[in-house]
A and B are shown apart, each in its own frame.
Chain A
């Protein structure tokens, strides 16, 4: 995106590049950088980038609620965790483990959780919605944490990575690079789908709910139904992030269903800029980068969340739009 103005003089056909062209040029540049990354980066940073993409997908899914519908969810860990455990179930029960079955079952798990949460918590607004999503995610945490025979309880589940298969075309073990590209492909596809959704008539109704719920209802839109679909959609993408995380790390643990994950998701959103879809990914990167930096400077024992919490509060007060907030209107045009 930053290189876009440089293209200006070279285009002869039109005096000014259209908004769309600039967007797609920027998109391609970022994509090329991300595709090349695993070939040039050292192992640690390659893994770091892959994880940032996964966290970014989780944050992006929650942006559909926070940024576009105006509902702050503090319960995205439930969807993320159910996606993780769904994938774990598919990988442990079926042999040979199948990647697509894992994704399917993970999404099914997340959809189940999302349906449950959506049905109950969309009855409430604003703060009440935030609290009830938090409480519902805690229900899933308690179930997963205490149901040891099935979920492995505190220890979680360990499994092996499935092969990367494309039916009839390709079948090989995941390498670090193909894992990165696979994650990148899924995150990019999710971004494009979510971008399409937010610009569709459905997305417009969601934004109208954010701006003025009473008026939207008065015009005649069934607000509750729109909200339920929004939560479910958001939950599905969060579940997808959970599946990716499970495959990347080869385990499912109850810690990821705990509230901390939901809290991090909200922090990514606020830091990156809500209502931009790409902002949350940037926020996730920013958060993880500062965290890495702090633990390198002061050692592993350093409570990195204290300075991050201070940065978070300062950003809420002085930079409520987040890092990419300045581009919000432009990205949604």
Chain B
């Protein structure tokens, strides 16, 4: 008992606050990645294994455009658009022929895509990590740390993108089509909604969200060809913990898990902190397999 009290008293409060901010920032990026994954899963019943690779590809296209133009914001917009077009092409080439087959074949196909993308990037760029310099270099004081404003801007931008996406789903014509297709695929088709194109569009939007988060994340850490797997794993955990197909649940779970990992990183190395999110996943599977952040199904 005493050791527990001593442990609690020894928690460095300032560090806790810093890690809270860090957790929320990564949580927002993760939410952006996971919302694309959830969207693709909820509508197409496709678990997009290549989602992490789209994130990585976005970051690399960002690196290339940034090297050419020197402007971060142009890199962000161009990378997002290019990866969205690539995503649409991928969907047409590989996933469209698989519509109506066992959903497991789509996992295999997207896994094949991720192999190709990852090895292409490794081939083109080599194993050395690339970096994009931060567009906003000013700092503010957080205790003894000089905390970069850029990280807060990322969190804000991610939130804005998710909000924009939500408004798009609720208000636009294409959003209505997407929601109709989610509810009843056959009926939507009968009403004249071009369902195959909705699928392509959804995949492109998901790819764009992943690419945007990739570019946003790039200045925080190096861009490597293996970063995709880390992120897609985290996004999978988020999607399972948040409740498959639920956008709100995914966002809540993304922030929750990132916070936990950030706190765990106070005591153990970041590589081991990942285990915390695995434990959350196990506990979720044990006690609430439908997801932590969705209402109890009847």
Segment of A31-39, A84-92, A122-130, A155-163 engaged in the interface with chain B: A122-130
Answer whether residue B47 sits at the interface, using C-beta atoms and an 8 A cutoff: yes
Answer whether residue B217 sits at the interface, using C-beta atoms and an 8 A cutoff: no
Answer whether residue A120 sits at the interface, using C-beta atoms and an 8 A cutoff: yes
Residues in B14-59 with C-beta less than 8 Å from chain A: 47
Segment of A3-11, A52-60, A134-142, A243-251 engaged in the interface with chain B: A134-142
Are A263 and B111 within 8 A (Cβ)?
A: yes
Residues in A59-74 with C-beta less than 8 Å from chain B: 72
Residues in B220-268 with C-beta less than 8 Å from chain A: 229, 233, 236-237, 240, 244
What's the interface size class on A, roughly?
A: 35 or more
**Minimum CB distance partner of B118 in chain A:** A305
Answer whether residue A146 sits at the interface, using C-beta atoms and an 8 A cutoff: yes
Question: CA of A143 to CA of B269 in the docked complex: distance in angstroms?
Answer: 12
Answer whether residue A310 sits at the interface, using C-beta atoms and an 8 A cutoff: yes
Answer whether residue B97 sits at the interface, using C-beta atoms and an 8 A cutoff: yes
Residues in A267-296 with C-beta less than 8 Å from chain B: 270
Are B236 and A312 within 8 A (Cβ)?
A: no
Contact with A along B58-83 (1 / 0, CB 8 A): 00000000000000000000000000
Chain A proximity of B73: nearest CB distance (Å):
32
Chain B residues, Cβ within 8 Å of A127: 47, 103-104, 107
Segment of A96-104, A201-209, A313-321 engaged in the interface with chain B: A313-321
Are A72 and B107 within 8 A (Cβ)?
A: yes
Chain B residues, Cβ within 8 Å of A259: 229
Are A309 and B113 within 8 A (Cβ)?
A: yes
Are A313 and B105 within 8 A (Cβ)?
A: no
Chain A interfacial positions (CB closer than 8 Å to B):
72, 120-121, 123-124, 126-128, 130-132, 134-136, 138-139, 142-143, 145-146, 259, 263, 266, 270, 303, 305-306, 308-310, 312-313, 316-317, 320
List 25 A–B pairs whose Cβ atoms lie within 8 Å, in order of A's numbering.
A120-B285, A120-B286, A123-B285, A123-B289, A126-B103, A127-B47, A128-B244, A132-B240, A135-B233, A136-B278, A142-B271, A142-B278, A146-B271, A259-B229, A306-B120, A309-B112, A309-B115, A310-B116, A312-B112, A313-B94, A313-B109, A313-B116, A316-B105, A316-B108, A320-B105
13 extra A-B contacts, CB within 8 A, seeds A72-B108, A143-B275, A316-B105: A124-B289, A128-B240, A136-B278, A139-B275, A142-B271, A142-B274, A142-B278, A146-B269, A263-B111, A303-B119, A305-B119, A309-B119, A317-B98
